[in-house]
Amino acid sequence: MLLNVKLIRETPGARIPFDFTMDLSAMPFYGEFPLPTPVRVKGELYNRAGMLILSAVAEITVETLCARCAKPISVGKSVPIEQLLADELQDEENDDIVLIVDDIVDVSQIAEEAVILDMDMIHLCKPDCKGLCHKCGTDLNQSDCECAAK
């Protein structure tokens, strides 16, 4: 989603609200494609004392397997997004600021990056998941196996 910041650039307190969905289902994470449903991004771009700030939340549903017992799980998550925007960088190494090019900001690119950086490497079906027996494969959440007794 592209936003034109020209209208709010010179007006402190001005705001541009936005609400859109984006498809990240083809994006791989750690060998999986865990975002089969559209990601909803809702927020606003505003001018605070001459500084342009993007503030939003991306709502995602991660469909994956428990890292211990391999059961399918669905995890809902809110990803906060706060981004300072500028026309030029004072410090070339400052990656906390997104550049505005020709008065246009690509909000979907900023949101996609925030989702990627917020993805967890592993997910569990429950915090105390016992997993699978490493010898026989029994789901230790459902029953004990004979391997421990041997």
Q: What is the torsional sign of CA 40, 79, 93, 52?
A: positive
d(CA 22, CA 27): 12
Query: Residue 145 has what pLDDT?
Result: 85
Q: Which residues of the chain have pLDDT under 50?
A: 149-150
Q: Model's pTM, two decimal places?
A: 0.84
Sequence ranges of the domains in the chain: 2-149
